[in-house]
Structure 1
């Protein structure tokens, strides 16, 4: 009896902290974040090459969001059919050339097609790599999702911090060719280590339908309002520094870089902090920090102070979305995939569509006003923060 108990306990122990499969999915998150981070300092040149006004650029970013939300469910269906390992490889190989494609466009229509593919394939890759991360968590019996998103933030930091300097040094085309080459190398390193999806015969099939309970929709609203500020920093911070605070090109990408740096550091610590203090308290502290940081950035009259504000906002926003996603997967009486599908779709619509609407607002006001007003959304998150209790493992059990 004791021997049987010992064997059972040993089989349920978590895997080592670092495994080949975890390294592979971390590289994929880093690759995706690196390309998206490099897009931030490239946006002003994309806009200039096509002669776009702020509202026209906002429309282009809207097309980016449409592409993502069109291809995300397609990727999900293919994952169900072929497994995340197969889909993440295909989407990554298709995604990498799109950063070159959006540099070659010379008209508004070709730009719209290119940015649709860019947004669509980054969204498809995002779904696939998150699905693979879930599989790795199951294999390791250890939470890794926050650290995976931390690697995405590190990639964003690297792409944003080097983008402006490389563009100024080797030009726009030289920058994207170096970026695409590095992305291919990272993929080739990760590819043989990517975990193949394991069957889960104990799981009962769940009929695909939208949940009628309001709980996942409320948590989805939290995710939406947490991701709107992240999308605003990604797509508009470079223009804000350059156009309103007169920052040089080499510095313009540093807003998203500062945001990504603090976000990555805090996401690595996110699981420990949540286990120590609970989801509700962690979410509330993060919400207050994000609000303060965005207000500092929006009311700043200097580049240095704005960068401090974006860095503080990165600390706050870092673990808000992972907490919302964890809560969605642990809603009582609801299959984990059903709640998570609602929350991720609503959340990603914030990071994809909101920045395009901000273009129309910014044309009639200023980006300073935008960054000052965005924290109002976080007040709604704070009002709903009690729902973060579902992210705690004790409540989930």
Structure 2
């Protein structure tokens, strides 16, 4: 197995591990809610604390990615991620629970920046799109983690035993796959930029981040409002209403598994344009339907539309020639998490005075924003089979990478 192939499998494991522990936490939220007698508003505040920890970690992780290297930072995060989750199960009061969730959010966010930087580095060496597949592994890991929560509840396993056992097993497999971190040198940029200070992203990258913001707003809204929307618009039962998010998630995972081939065939800009259009069509279909079956088709189309945009955003950020990859990924991650946080309450705000259908139409307009900004994702991206999808300035570098990959 060549060096780049080993690194590819290592990144697969780290994405799955990151999703696994996050899914484990998500699957036991009801148990945490019951243990601390939390109402919906209190739980919402705690979830904001967790997301706040992630957002705080992004710029720090961006700087450390350039100073230590993405593989070393990923390894450090992998060592701390499990213990951070276990501290959540050990919390005995609301303040300690909030502190534990903030720490868990920080490790989750830092690993998110590092592993996306590492994934983009592997993608450059392979000279083909693999980021959608990596993100599919995160979704798969999250699904497995949430499923372990179901069995843990059925078997009456405590959160401490559940969190610690999955953390140890997942970390052992992941750290074995990562192996010994290699010495890495930061990729030079066209500007004289230091790796240990904050870098303000260029305008083009901010527009790429705006694509992440618009898509992540929709993702957050799907998680919190899909069941409510189905129940209100189709009059379905509470159990059947949960199928909306299930259809959305299943379609997203399936599309991400096929996403690398799609991007290789179409290129990042056209893929993003089609993705935004499909998501918009799915939202319009959902809003215009009053039957469960058609609405589920609409949610599935939204999942297909959102699936590969975020992996492309991270790949685009990591390949910007004007800013270090760690800082670039941190910038778009901040906008992505901001959208994820803002989406659910904004939908609720719009729904309160204009109705839930209008709120979902707002998400459709945001999907169209991704269509309009799709060309921004074509600049300075690695070669995805057809070199016409890349900047001409990078083609000599891409040829050198392809030759180096074949030589391994």
- Give the equivalent residue in structure 2 for 1:229: 218
Q: Deviations over 1:95-144 (max 9, x none)?
A: 11333332343433222112111111100111121222233334444443
Residue pairs, 1:154-233, within 5 angstroms: 154-171=140-157, 173=159, 174-192=161-179, 196-199=182-185, 206-207=192-193, 210=199, 214-233=203-222
- Give the equivalent residue in structure 2 for 1:65: 51
Indicate how the Cα distance of structure 1 residues 374 and 110 shifts in structure 2: closer, same or farther if over 3 A, else same.
farther
Q: Tell me if the contact between 2:75 and 2:175 (Cα under 8 Å) persists in the aligned partners.
A: no
Q: CA deviation at 1:29?
A: 0.2
**Number of equivalenced pairs:** 377
- Give the equivalent residue in structure 2 for 1:147: 133
2:305 paired residue among 316, 323, 327: 316
2:322 paired residue among 334, 339, 352: 334
Q: Tell me if the contact between 2:212 and 2:335 (Cα under 8 Å) persists in the aligned partners.
A: yes
Q: Deviations over 1:193-212 (max 9, x none)?
A: x6524336866663256558
- Give the equivalent residue in structure 1 for 2:399: none
Indicate how the Cα distance of structure 1 residues 339 and 76 shifts in structure 2: closer, same or farther if over 3 A, else same.
closer
- Give the equivalent residue in structure 1 for 2:391: 396
Q: Deviations over 1:3-28 (max 9, x none)?
A: xxxxxxxxxxxx97982221111100
CA distance in 1, matches of 2:97, 2:228: 19
Q: Tell me if the contact between 1:258 and 1:310 (Cα under 8 Å) persists in the aligned partners.
A: yes
1:136 paired residue among 113, 122, 127: 122
Residue pairs, 1:1-397, within 5 angstroms: 19-171=5-157, 173=159, 174-192=161-179, 196-199=182-185, 206-207=192-193, 210=199, 214-234=203-223, 245-247=237-239, 258-294=247-283, 309-329=298-318, 334-335=322-323, 337=325, 340-351=329-340, 353-354=341-342, 357=345, 361=349, 373-390=362-379, 391=381, 393=383, 394=388, 395-397=390-392
CA distance in 2, matches of 1:388, 1:66: 27
Indicate how the Cα distance of structure 1 residues 216 and 78 shifts in structure 2: closer, same or farther if over 3 A, else same.
closer
SS of corresponding position for 2:185: coil
Q: Tell me if the contact between 1:296 and 1:306 (Cα under 8 Å) persists in the aligned partners.
A: yes
Q: CA deviation at 1:31?
A: 0.7
CA distance in 2, matches of 1:358, 1:303: 25
Q: Tell me if the contact between 2:131 and 2:315 (Cα under 8 Å) persists in the aligned partners.
A: no
Q: Tell me if the contact between 1:262 and 1:314 (Cα under 8 Å) persists in the aligned partners.
A: yes
Q: CA deviation at 1:298?
A: 7.5
Q: Deviations over 1:200-237 (max 9, x none)?
A: 68666632565585322222111111112223445676
Indicate how the Cα distance of structure 1 residues 43 and 304 shifts in structure 2: closer, same or farther if over 3 A, else same.
farther
Indicate how the Cα distance of structure 1 residues 123 and 302 shifts in structure 2: closer, same or farther if over 3 A, else same.
farther
CA distance in 2, matches of 1:49, 1:372: 38
Q: CA deviation at 1:68?
A: 0.6
CA RMSD of aligned residues (A): 3.9
